[in-house]
Every structure is written in structure tokens, then in C-alpha cells.
Structure 1
């Protein structure tokens, strides 16, 4: 599954809510090599199923039991490899009452998680979406380029845009004088250069077309130095800005249509370059958010101010550490979130319910408001602000932090 497809699933799930029956969010690491591992998962699921059903009244209990039985059957099919063959992770979101049944299989392992709530838990999916950013790997030559589309470190498409090497006519020409020979050689050289430039432009146009279909893609270039320089001059600025690395031509024997070994080497080196570029982008994003917040610009830091901004639906991008762990409350009446546990909602004085995973709730709400979520590695600078920051669409009427003067509409922009 590509990052773009996963983001589509995230946007769809972020809008889902069930006030009658709870929604099951199930994440599983399905790298099961023996029956003992499968037995441990069965016991784990049985225990959590029993706990989820305990104390629930009819008909909610019966409806939830049917959903959980369907989930158990899917897991059993995965045990038997009749579902999810060759995959390493499973995420399932299900609720019989609202007709939700969305199993997603991944090549990447997931951390086992079982929750039932009125909304789906999306933090793991959001983190995975960042790790699955696509890449375009280009093996350039004087004749054009071979382009690989890479998703989750696997080649999902490839195309060659290159012409035959034009023949250069020698300087010798029977029956011609020295001046005429030079003129013919010069004309032939221009013709060859024009053909090669045409092949190069065609290859660059194909790369731009692929990039515009997935503008989050990183670009990794391989090839001789002069060929790369010529090829890069044909690319628009938006593509050049996403170049993660430039490498010399591969070892002898790896050509534009290289075999599995040569292609695997290109993909592996590209994956390393993309990982470095992503880490660099994360640091730059954190530095930018912290700098903006300290200057009083459109960013906020720390859990309290971020929660307020999410309540007011002002968050354009949420930055959250992968190991973020906090709980809070959610008002049953107006839906506002809070950090400090009080007797009633600070906004409407309605009844409260515990939110045991505030990170999941922040992710869901930002995605539901068409914002972006970036789950980042542990960073000291962000961790000093409780591991959370937000870049805003707009400031509140009272500034970037603090409670609004009229807080009875916490979601109002």
C-alpha cells in the first residue's frame, strides 16, 4: 500500500464516529512463524474480547459481540494464510451498527493494539503513513533514464525513456576537402547532441508526470556526474527541491534495465537516502514550529495550547512524537477536549469522559479537519514541550495561546 492510498484511508476513517456501538480498532503484528505464537495471539484476543464485552447492556453487547466474532474469523484466516499472505501487519476497523469493516494489510509490522471506542484509533496508521513516503529512483544516462517507482521499499512500477545511441560519423570523408570534412563532422555532432537532448527531455517529462501524481515523493538520482547535471537541468524547481541524494553510476553490470540484484541495490541505497532526508525534514519542521511559536507566529507548543488549537479547529499540521503518551478528557455534550481532569467541561459544563489516548484523539481531529499529521522520532527540542506542537492556519482572537474570552464554542474558528 502506498502512502497516498493510506492517507486516503486515514481521511475516511477520521470522519467516522459511532455513538451507539463502539468501533473496534485492532492492530496486529502477523509475523507468526509457529503455532505457539498463534496461541499467544488467540489468548490475547480472547482476554481483550471478554473485557470489551463485560458490563455492556443489550443490545450493544450483542452487536459488539458479532463485530468481535467477525474480527476473530479474519484473524483465524490470517493464521491459515488464506488472508494477508506475505504481509507483516494487519489493521482492522469494524463496527456492525454503522456498517464499518475495513481490514488493511501491510508489508510493515504493527504493534499489537485492541481498543473499542466511539471513534477509531489512528495514531499507528498516521505514523506508518509517514514511513511509507514514496520515492522515484532515477538511473540516468546520456541516452535518457530508467525510472523506478518505489513504495514501502518495493518497486511498484518502472519505465525506461531512452533512445538508441546515435552513430557519430568519423571525420574522414572520401573525396572531400578538409573544410568540408570539418563542416560535416560539426553538423553530425550537433545532430547527435540534439537527439540526446530530446531523449533527456522526454525522460525528465516522464519523471515530472510521475512526481505530480505523488508530490510527496522523494527523488534519488544515480548516474555519471555529467549525465546527472544535464538531466537535472531539465527538471522544474518543485522536483529539484525533493531530490534526496545524488549517487554515481552503479557498479559495472547494473544497467538501466538491470536485473533483480542491481535493482535491489538501487532501491536499498535509495531507501537509506530517503530515511536520512525524512529525518532532516523532521528536524527542520520541529525547528520551524518552535521558532515560530517563540516569535509569537502561527505555531503553538505544549499539550495545553495544542489541545486548545485543535478544539478551535485552527491546526494545519500536528507534530507528535512517536512515543507521545498522555490522557485527557472529552466532553460528551460539546465534544471539546481538555488536559486537566475537572468535574465538568470547562467550556459548556457538560459531563466528561476519559480519553486514555489523547494522541489518537488529536490525530483523528486534525485529520478530520483536513489538517496534516507528522509523527516524528523522539527529539529533545520537541520533547521539552511535552512532545507535541502544531502549526496553525490562523491565530485565535486572543493570540496564539491561552483561553479565548468566550469559550462556550470551543470548536469555533
Structure 2
């Protein structure tokens, strides 16, 4: 089994390569947050339903047997392995999984998620990876650099996980220079400056070639504040923050300090986004708020960015024929069919936004959206009748 708490575009590309048009791949998305109840029971219902659906498809018996084996493996994983993983909080609390299995292709991969995605089980010739792709777009990828007077370590941080990226040791800086005598101070300072400039060169290369969004710097006390002085303007613009650390510190401490900065960045961006939403609402520009108006805009393909308070749920209705989503309409305003109730229309709205290629922002600071219904959207264009006036 291949399990990971970090998702990269390379991993998604590898998943795509398993598709060959002949073998079926089973994709499972499962939420593990307590407020949704026992995830093992929900998963078992999904597995049983999938086995029933499988028999209605015109697949070969060999293909069906592969899917049955996939479901058996996934069922065992959810029952035997996942409960312990959910209890772990390092490097983040697991709030969901995306799992992919194909017995005929020798594939079984599990990705732990920092927030739940819509639950579903799909078997098809290609892995269902669109939700993961959107999740990648939603989170920023950080280059974390920890430096002292002669060493530097480079980490990649994404979605609450951190891994080693590069390591640099300047052998010109001998141990005797740790506390240099006065006569060697100038030489020592020169070598430290040379080392820091080499570190900046590596930062520049990594930021350019690996497409990191932001930079976080950890500096040992003897060089605190010095690395930032050598950063060119284009890198200073990417600097999210700095903290005190040593390259020999445990990776858990590095992650903890870097996450503090990441959380502050996320909060600031959330505030900026919600402020823009409220400004547009106040000035009558391209924005809506509240469940009814947001669903209406989504149904008219007006939404540019859907903004939802983390964990917000609400009952609603759905049309079985055209997929219309609403709050309480008994008949569909689009095709006239009778609607049916859904437990969480917000989840359906997020799925519809995914299908439309709409940007989705989950706001962790729920209080920012409390006064406007916990959901809203920035629009691409106004309603047609408004635009024609």
C-alpha cells in the first residue's frame, strides 16, 4: 500500500498514467470528520451500493472481479487501518481520504486530506482526480529554508506536510569559525556572506524550477535577519515570514514553526477575500451572498469564485432531470420536474462548482461569513436581464 499525507501534481500525473482504456480503476472519497458520523458505516454502505451498481454495467466478468477485489481492499483499509490514522494529528488532523485501487493494474494508493471532500465511490477507466486537482489549486506550496553560518536545509511544505527538498553545507566554514577571534572576524564575515549568497542562489533556482508559491525562512541566532538582506526584490515579494531555527532542529519543530506562518497567511487571505465580497455587495457590484442567491448564480453559470464557510451545511432540493439546485422549490424552475430533498445542498453546490471549473475557497474563520449566510460568490457577469438594462 502506498499512503501519503502530501499530494503533488507529479502524484496526480502518475495516477493518470494507470489509465489504459481496458482496466477499471476504483476511486473512493471519504470524509472522516466526527460531525458526519461513523465513517466506517458510511463507507460500508458506499461499498455495498457500488457492488449493486457494478452488476448493472456491461463490463466483462474479469473487469467486474477486479472492482470487487478493489472494494474488498478498500473495505479492509477503512476498517483496519484508517481509524488509527484519523487519531494521529501529525502533521495534520486527517479529515478525509482519497483512495485509488485497481487490482488488475497493481494499484493501491491512499492520500490523507486536511479537509473533507464530497463522498463518492467511482469505478471507471480513469481515476477520478478532479477534486484532488482543485485541492492542489486551493493550497499554496511553500519553500522553507533553515540556515546558519555554514549549513542550510531546504524543505517543501504543502497541505500541512513537510518533506526534505535540498541540503547545502559550505565546507569552507570550519568549525573553528563558530566563535572566531577578532583577527579573523573579517574573514569569518566574508565567508558567512559568501555562504548566504550561495543559499540565495539555491532558493532562486528552487523557486523558479519547482513553482513554489511562497518562501519561509528559518535563521539561527548568529545569522538572524542576514539571509533576508541578500534576497533580491522578486524573492522578498515571495517571503511569507521568518522564524528562529537551526538546520539541525527536528523536522517536527520546523513544520510547527512554518505552519504558524502559513496559518497567518491563510487568515490574511481569507480576510482579504471576504472583505472584497462584502465591498462588492455593498456597492452593488458582481457578488451575491446567502444560500438562495448563491445557488441561483451557480445555476446560471455566473460564479467566478464560490466562498463557503468551512463545515457549512444546509438542506435543499435537487432536480432529478436537469440537476437544478435550490433551497425549497417543489418544482424545478428550469424543466418543471418535481424536485427531491437533499441533506446537504452545499455539498452538491461545491460539486457543481467543480464541474463548472469554478474557483472554490473554504473559509476557516467562519465568523467572517456569519452575517451574510455563511456562503457567497464573486461573479463573472451579472444576470442577463440586469446586463441588458
- Give the TM-score normalised by structure 2: 0.66
- Give 3-state SS (helix, strand or coil) of 2:146's partner: strand
- The equivalent of 1:201 in structure 2 is 197
Query: Map of 1:43-192 to 2, 5 A cutoff?
Result: 45-47=43-45, 59=56, 70-77=70-77, 90-92=97-99, 105-107=110-112, 115=120, 133-143=140-150, 145-151=152-158, 152-160=160-168, 162=170, 164-165=172-173
Q: Secondary structure at the match of 2:377?
A: strand
Query: CA separation of 1:127/1:283 partners in 2, compared to 1, >3 Å: closer, same or farther?
Result: farther
Let me know the Cα RMSD of the aligned residues: 5.2
Residue 285 (structure 2) pairs with residue 297 (structure 1): yes
Cα gap change, 1:50/1:165 in structure 2, threshold over 3 Å: closer, same or farther?
A: closer
Separation in 1, partners of 2:129, 2:327: 20
* Farther off after superposition, 124-133 or 150-159: 124-133
| Count of paired positions | 352
Deviation of 1:387 (Å): 1.0
Q: Residues 207 and 268 from structure 1, CA distance in 2 versus in 1: closer, same or farther, beyond 3 angstroms?
A: same
2:318 touches 2:342 (CA, 8 Å); kept in 1?
yes
Q: Which runs of 5+ in 1 are unaligned?
A: 13-22, 31-39, 173-184, 407-413
Match of 1:373?
Answer: 360
Matching residue of 1:409: none
Q: Given that residues 26 and 91 in structure 1 are in contact (C-alpha distance below 8 angstroms), is that contact kept between their aligned partners in structure 2?
A: yes
Aligned-pair distance for 1:230?
Answer: 4.0
The structure with the greater share of residues assigned to helix is 2
Separation in 1, partners of 2:134, 2:287: 21
Show structure 2 runs of 5+ residues with no match: 17-25, 89-93
Partner of 2:306: 318
Q: Which has the larger radius of gyration?
A: 1
1:205-228 Cα offsets, whole Å, 9 max, x none, are 322333342443452432348x45
Asked if the contact 2:280/2:286 (under 8 Å) is kept, the reply is yes
Aligned-partner Cα distance in 1 for 2:236–2:172: 27
Measure, in 2, the Cα distance between the counterparts of 1:363 and 1:200: 46
Match of 2:344 among 324, 346, 357: 357
